[in-house]
Structures are given as structure tokens and as C-alpha cells.
């Protein structure tokens, strides 16, 4: 149990366009989901925390107008990269937890590789 999926696994888009990444908890209800960004050979950087039915909380330095996060249901969160630029190219990973707060184990999706040309 505790499987998290992400779609798409890879996406290539042109500069100036928008791209949406979906994160789904397949066999549990996720009250909280997280979005991370990871550059090659680096650690995961938390971008934002989303709770079902409320606005996402963004980390300092993350542009909320560029990275739109929607957590519309207990099993789905989406990250939309708006007006993408080459510097947005990265590996994006989502995770989900079953319970409230950050003390519970996070279950990670397989990640999405975004390339902006």
C-alpha cells in the first residue's frame, strides 16, 4: 500500500508555455501533499505544501504565480508551471502523507523530468 503516482514521467515543452504535472495517491487519502524540486546530484528542495481544499503554502523564494499548486481532492494534487523557461527544467517530485503534520512518513512519487526548450 501507500503508492503515489505522477504523470507525466517526462515532459518537454517550449519556452513560454505552461505544463501541468499530476500527483495521485492511489490507495490512500492524502490530507497533505508536498512538491519538491531536485537538480542533478543535489538534494530535494521543498517548493510547497498543499492541503486538500486550501491554498498551498510556498517556501521562501518560490514564485507562487509561476508554480501553481491545486489540491482539489484527497487523492490528487497538481503542479502547473506557467510560462515555463529553460531555467525551470528540473526533476519534480511529489509526496503525500496520510495524517496531518510533518511527522508522518512521506510516500514519494516517481518524479517528473521537465525539459523546457
Query: Between 14 and 103, whose beta carbon lies closer to another protein?
Result: 103
Query: Between 34 and 67, whose beta carbon lies closer to another protein?
Result: 34
Contacting residues for 64 by C-beta, under 8 A, at least 6 apart:
48, 56, 58
Query: Between 18 and 42, whose beta carbon lies closer to another protein?
Result: 42
Instruction: Using CB under 8 A, pick the residue from 52, 91, 98, 115 that binds another protein.
Output: 91
Measure the CA dihedral 67/105/73/56, to 10°.
-30
Beta strands 76-81 and 19-25 are antiparallel
Instruction: Using CB under 8 A, pick the residue from 93, 96, 114, 116 that binds another protein.
Output: 93
Amino acid at each position: 500500500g501507500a503508492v503515489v503516482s505522477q504523470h507525466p514521467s517526462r515532459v518537454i515543452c517550449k519556452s513560454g508555455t505552461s505544463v501541468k504535472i499530476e500527483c495521485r495517491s492511489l490507495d490512500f487519502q492524502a490530507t497533505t501533499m508536498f512538491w519538491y524540486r531536485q537538480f542533478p546530484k543535489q538534494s530535494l528542495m521543498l517548493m510547497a505544501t498543499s492541503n486538500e481544499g486550501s491554498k498551498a503554502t510556498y517556501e521562501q523564494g518560490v514564485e507562487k504565480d509561476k508554480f501553481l499548486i491545486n489540491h482539489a481532492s484527497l487523492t490528487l494534487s497538481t503542479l502547473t508551471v506557467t510560462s515555463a523557461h529553460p531555467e525551470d527544467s528540473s526533476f519534480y517530485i511529489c509526496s503525500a502523507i496520510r495524517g496531518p503534520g510533518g511527522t508522518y512518513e512521506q510516500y514519494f512519487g516517481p518524479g517528473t523530468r521537465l525539459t523546457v526548450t
